[in-house]
A and B are shown apart, each in its own frame.
Chain A
Amino acid sequence: MSVFSTDEIMTIAASRELAGARSCFVGIGLPSVAANLARSLHAPGLVLVYESGTIGAKPTRLPLSIGDGELARTADVVVSVPEIFNYWLQPGRIDVGMLSAAQIDRFANLNTTVIGSYDQPEVRLPGAGGAPEIASACPRVIIVMRQSKKTFVDKLDYRTTVGFGDGAGARSRLGMPGAGPCVLISDLGIFRPDPRTFEMTLTALHPGATVMGVRDATGWDLAVSGDLVETLAPTDEELEHLRRLHANSKAKATD
């Protein structure tokens, strides 16, 4: 078995979740890496949609921004920003939304706005972008983020994006059409919502991770599935595709 990093297994596990998906609304950073890996491996026909209005983008390197020229040049169609949100995202035409955040809570609500108080923030983060509507409208949502007590918190400093709100029934009370975050993938394991409480529950450990280690990196009293499994180690093929994607991006960036 090849040696791999925790970031690599996180990205690869996230890309596997896209198998069978038709289209994915992609954010920059970890989600973009996972979605591009999926298109080269687990979901070859996957339609990548970026909020810049590029539908069906086929980048050969990882874009630095959601509006890189290559996304527009390789897209099936390019539409305006009002159109991408109103006609394409809002009615649920995009199967899967893939998001990341600075903080997440046990119900997969996300903070990308501030650390500290809103009026006197310790750290001012970028803000909402497309995330709240992606999390509301997409039939399925996948969240990818590195895990620590600072990122997996008991209480968000700010609720930018709703996952499952305050638990069971919250999404339908809020009139959110999509099913919400069906999976959360960190560098330590995989979490899925409990079907009754909607609390994110540890369902798989990445090779080398322990339940105690995951608990130590979680700011709330973590629920662990009775059927806990080990995440399949990355195959050589998966690692090769992921590393090639990163290498391509570095090489082309210096052109």
Chain B
Amino acid sequence: MAEFLTLQSAVATYVHDGDVVALEGFTHLIPFAAGHEIIRQRRRDLTLVRLTPDLICDQLIGAGCARKLVFSWGGNPGVGSLHRFRDAVEHDWPHALELDEHTHAGLANRFVAGASGLPFAVLRAYAGTDVAAQSSSIASVTCPFTGEVLAAVAALRPDVTVIHAQQADRAGNVRLWGITGVQKESVLAATRSIVTVEEIVDDFHDDRNAVFLPSWTVTAIAHVPGGCYPSYAAGYSERDNDYYEAWDDLSRDRQVFEDWLEHQVYEQARAR
């Protein structure tokens, strides 16, 4: 059964240096508060996994938490570059960042294989691209029935997956809706999971189809209203597109970024 913890103890207990950490949520429900807590607890040498690294991985990379990034599209959606990610790849700042990159379909299927308890997943993808040659987790496989050559992608099993959801009930069942991304697959593929939620409710009434993750599939739940800001939680908040646009300027300069980190992330801990 999921245990209810503060975000601080959930991260302290379940995210360790050197872990493979998936932080999922496709534009919607991105677990920013948990990402900031990982930065505050100064975790190091993490392998971050996220289809769309978004601002959350930009922040973790700039803060020096990541050794490696497994991803499929690393931009600021609709705005442009992720400058901390680029600085790490182009100039090794704050240190070098190893990459394992995929397509969305490929990385999503790596989670599907992990959640399914299979060693790999099959899809029609990557043919003729340089992406396939770059990654040791992409190979090809011949269909035993038709002879078609298809892509095989290695199962991904994070040590811990972190997501944000709209609701948990008091038994620790988690319910989320709207754009659901790969959250279900990434939690079921992982050894441990942390779910931050907007609200804890008495029960979900008749809406049983929306019980997304039963309590016994989740390790820890933390009540963190607004924990996905500046992304959004359908039914609770709107995406702050202005923040995403402002991040473009803020993150360009190392010093400005470090000031942001000091005031918006580290000082929050001292204030606690």
- Whether the pair B104, A85 counts as a contact (CB closer than 8 A) is yes
Closest CB in chain A relative to B50 CB, distance in Å: 12
- Choose, from A65-73, A191-199, A204-212, A237-245, the stretch at the interface: A65-73
Closest CB in chain B relative to A30 CB, distance in Å: 12
- Whether the pair A127, B179 counts as a contact (CB closer than 8 A) is no
- Whether the pair A82, B180 counts as a contact (CB closer than 8 A) is no
Known: A127-B71, A127-B73. A174 touches B128 (CB 8 A): yes
Q: Say if the beta carbon of A177 comes within 8 Å of chain B.
A: yes
Select which of A82, A124, A128, A136 is within 8 A of B185 by beta carbon: A82
- Whether the pair B26, A67 counts as a contact (CB closer than 8 A) is yes
Q: Say if the beta carbon of A176 comes within 8 Å of chain B.
A: yes
Q: How would you classify the secondary structure of chain A's contact residues: helix, strand, loop or mixed?
A: loop
- Choose, from A41-49, A144-152, A153-161, the stretch at the interface: A153-161
- Whether the pair B105, A65 counts as a contact (CB closer than 8 A) is no
Q: How far is the CA of A125 from the CA of B74 in the complex (A)?
A: 7
Q: How far is the CA of A131 from the CA of B74 in the complex (A)?
A: 13
Select which of B28, B111, B131 is within 8 A of A67 by beta carbon: B28
Select which of B79, B90, B105, B244 is within 8 A of A90 by beta carbon: B105
Select which of B85, B105, B234 is within 8 A of A133 by beta carbon: B105
- Whether the pair A65, B27 counts as a contact (CB closer than 8 A) is yes
Q: Say if the beta carbon of B144 comes within 8 Å of chain A.
A: no
Q: How far is the CA of A159 from the CA of B133 in the complex (A)?
A: 11
Q: How far is the CA of A86 from the CA of B178 in the complex (A)?
A: 19
- Whether the pair A137, B124 counts as a contact (CB closer than 8 A) is yes
Which residues in B have their C-beta under 8 angstroms from that of A53? Answer: 26, 179-181
Q: How far is the CA of A67 from the CA of B228 in the complex (A)?
A: 14
Which residues in A have their C-beta under 8 angstroms from that of B73? Answer: 126-130
- Whether the pair A90, B124 counts as a contact (CB closer than 8 A) is yes
Known: A67-B28, A127-B73, A137-B124. A121 touches B89 (CB 8 A): yes
Select which of B77, B89, B108 is within 8 A of A81 by beta carbon: B108
Q: Say if the beta carbon of B149 comes within 8 Å of chain A.
A: yes
- Whether the pair A69, B239 counts as a contact (CB closer than 8 A) is yes
**A65-B241, A175-B148 provided; 9 other pairs, C-beta below 8 A?**
A28-B77, A29-B78, A53-B180, A68-B241, A82-B112, A86-B105, A123-B86, A129-B104, A133-B124
11 example contacts (A-B, Cβ-Cβ < 8 A) are as follows A28-B77, A53-B181, A65-B241, A72-B178, A78-B179, A85-B104, A113-B131, A118-B130, A127-B73, A127-B75, A177-B124
Closest 9 CB pairs of A and B: A67-B27, A126-B75, A65-B77, A129-B73, A64-B78, A85-B105, A174-B127, A162-B128, A128-B103
Q: Which B residues fall within an 8 A CB radius of A?
A: 26-28, 51-52, 71-75, 77-79, 81-82, 85-86, 89-90, 101-105, 108-109, 111-112, 123-131, 134, 148-150, 178-182, 184-185, 232, 234, 238-239, 241-242, 244
